[in-house]
Structure 1
């Protein structure tokens, strides 16, 4: 395996201002760390939001930051105590690691760790660089049947896995997913893999719904410019769910979708908020209460989610390759961000400066 020393990094300086910088090559810092040459990185909506707005909620860009967190790569160095991985292994990279000592970590919910070091979330640099260091147990070896490009999509798939687990989807349930972006589409795929009898994809873009129908959805629905109650009634009638859906997942973060969701879910059903939009919205609290809906949030991914995501890809139960619109060269990363913001394609990958070792 040829070695390279390039650590070219795609850096966000301020909204809409990026640069390519040759930064020092990182090294293994602890006996349990591995050094990875980043081969492919997907562009996430949060990356685009930082690029365009300079912040998301309480996470505000205060100094230049390397973008990117949906990555896969090849291990080029390992710490002396690393046992499960070796140089040359191809891995999906879980881009955040916790403190391991706080109450959420010790209770098995490390995704809620207040000290989480998460890539491309201020103040931490992301993975759109030549190299990245991670703890051994936050890297997942890819089976031979899984490509590095597919490995880069394990991150958004793990998000969907966590959402569907929060929803407690079981065989035979009806599931409605609001939003047919990458995470919404993957929620449909995971719900189907979990045995859902009906999987309804909802979006306002016909092209996204056409894709959803060929990907994992059993039904699709286009909302009209009417009230949330009217859209809910139309949806349930069109897809043949008389008493409401067992599970509704919002993967859009859009206020009208959230409002419609509460009217779509059945009495005693489960609603999960996976998409992030405005910090505060008008919410149909009366419908939530009178139907005794179980409402949950979902944040990133937790214990076992990444491992299950890799298994879903390796088994063929979720075909993430279909989501890849194209791959661009590292030097074309800025144009790729512009294209994603303009809504072109579904999932764009950026080949790392060390795409081929």
Structure 2
């Protein structure tokens, strides 16, 4: 192993979820990178809805259950401070954004280029794999993506949710001139609206029942907004090329699919119910493709470029900043109406300290 001249401590402060609703800050050993890995000193970590689910409920449906102490956080950036024996030493000192996945690389899905669907995937902050609310993490070297100097640590961390949006646009077949309907103006909906415009969409219509969120969407890529309580999107004759659900609400999914025109695409991004009714007749008669999004593949270089050239703004999405001893407050900040993205800084006990 090769490392920076700066001293790497034996342990680092870590926020650990003991069980639903119970967090502690403890010292954990700093991991050693394997031959193909790098050791990253964490700079910033975004709070995701999945982190909140684990914190509040100890599970996400039947998909993953917290059965032992878990480190949350998977939207992360930092600096490489050590490399494994098979990694170029010149990478030490690089600022990077972390793609928080460890696929097996040899299964059928990995070989087909769908490594996000690897059945042996080890994903940050998904039980039993620890995440990044800690000082140092390891990741395979090719999943530590260099970021340009013009990207802040916060923007570099938020390349992860942007990667979800990029995957969504690819699956939605967004091209210049597309008409898109997005349900939900939360963090992912806002990032999807920006990304749709970056992909060339001529119209991006955002539906959300909260007026402040609709106003916010207009500042982040939406060309128009809909109050779904006052107007049913399915009855407005939109005939959009693509519908993107970032709400998880069954009624929003139903109405959104009904708003898709012939041969269009509906992409389900939001974490919703495990089952829901769909407008099958509309889907069948109009040959609509309905698909989901589960993480991402090969998105970080595109994400970094979209931010670097100003097509997507991530920095202004940060509405809360927290130290490692304030993770509880960070996880609960989503209850604030004005909250978009909260960032945790593991290197400080309190932000600004």
Band the TM-score falls in, shorter-chain normalisation: over 0.9
Give the gaps of 5 or more residues in structure 1: none
When residues 10 and 268 of structure 1 are mapped into structure 2, their CA distance, relative to the original with a 3 A threshold, is: same
The aligned residue for residue 206 of structure 2 is 201
State the TM-score, normalized to the length of structure 1: 0.92
User: Does structure 2 retain, via aligned residues, the 8 Å contact 1:253–1:274?
Assistant: yes
Q: How do 1:1-357 residues align onto structure 2 when only pairs under 5 Å count?
A: 2-5=6-9, 6-29=11-34, 31-57=35-61, 58-83=63-88, 86-224=91-229, 230-234=232-236, 236=237, 241=238, 244-302=239-297, 304-353=298-347
1 CA distance for matches of 2:13 and 2:230? 47
After the TM superposition, which of the residue ranges 329-338 and 69-78 deviates more from structure 2?
329-338
User: Does structure 2 retain, via aligned residues, the 8 Å contact 1:177–1:251?
Assistant: yes
1 CA distance for matches of 2:124 and 2:185? 25
2 CA distance for matches of 1:321 and 1:210? 18
Alpha-carbon shift at residue 344 of structure 1 (Å) = 4.6
When residues 190 and 84 of structure 1 are mapped into structure 2, their CA distance, relative to the original with a 3 A threshold, is: farther
User: Does structure 1 retain, via aligned residues, the 8 Å contact 2:14–2:324?
Assistant: no
1 CA distance for matches of 2:197 and 2:215? 17
User: Does structure 1 retain, via aligned residues, the 8 Å contact 2:83–2:89?
Assistant: no
Alpha-carbon shift at residue 266 of structure 1 (Å) = 0.5
Provide, for residues 155-206 of structure 1, a one-character-per-residue CA deviation record: whole Å limited to 9, x for no partner. Answer: 0000100011111100001011111111111111111011110011111121
User: Does structure 1 retain, via aligned residues, the 8 Å contact 2:14–2:346?
Assistant: no
2 CA distance for matches of 1:246 and 1:127? 38
User: Does structure 1 retain, via aligned residues, the 8 Å contact 2:226–2:233?
Assistant: no
| Partner SS for 1:76 | strand
| Partner SS for 1:27 | coil
2 CA distance for matches of 1:323 and 1:315? 17
User: Does structure 1 retain, via aligned residues, the 8 Å contact 2:103–2:110?
Assistant: yes
User: Does structure 2 retain, via aligned residues, the 8 Å contact 1:85–1:141?
Assistant: no
State the TM-score, normalized to the length of structure 2: 0.93
1 CA distance for matches of 2:29 and 2:337? 34
* Coordinate RMSD, CA, aligned: 1.7
| Partner SS for 1:145 | coil
After the TM superposition, which of the residue ranges 150-159 and 274-283 deviates more from structure 2?
274-283
User: Does structure 2 retain, via aligned residues, the 8 Å contact 1:85–1:136?
Assistant: no
1 CA distance for matches of 2:80 and 2:166? 25
User: Does structure 2 retain, via aligned residues, the 8 Å contact 1:48–1:341?
Assistant: no
Give the gaps of 5 or more residues in structure 2: none
| Partner SS for 1:101 | coil
Provide, for residues 256-312 of structure 1, a one-character-per-residue CA deviation record: whole Å limited to 9, x for no partner. Answer: 11011111100111111111211011221121111110111111111x212211111
Alpha-carbon shift at residue 212 of structure 1 (Å) = 1.0
| Partner SS for 1:65 | coil
| Partner SS for 1:257 | helix
User: Does structure 1 retain, via aligned residues, the 8 Å contact 2:18–2:69?
Assistant: yes
1 CA distance for matches of 2:99 and 2:80? 14
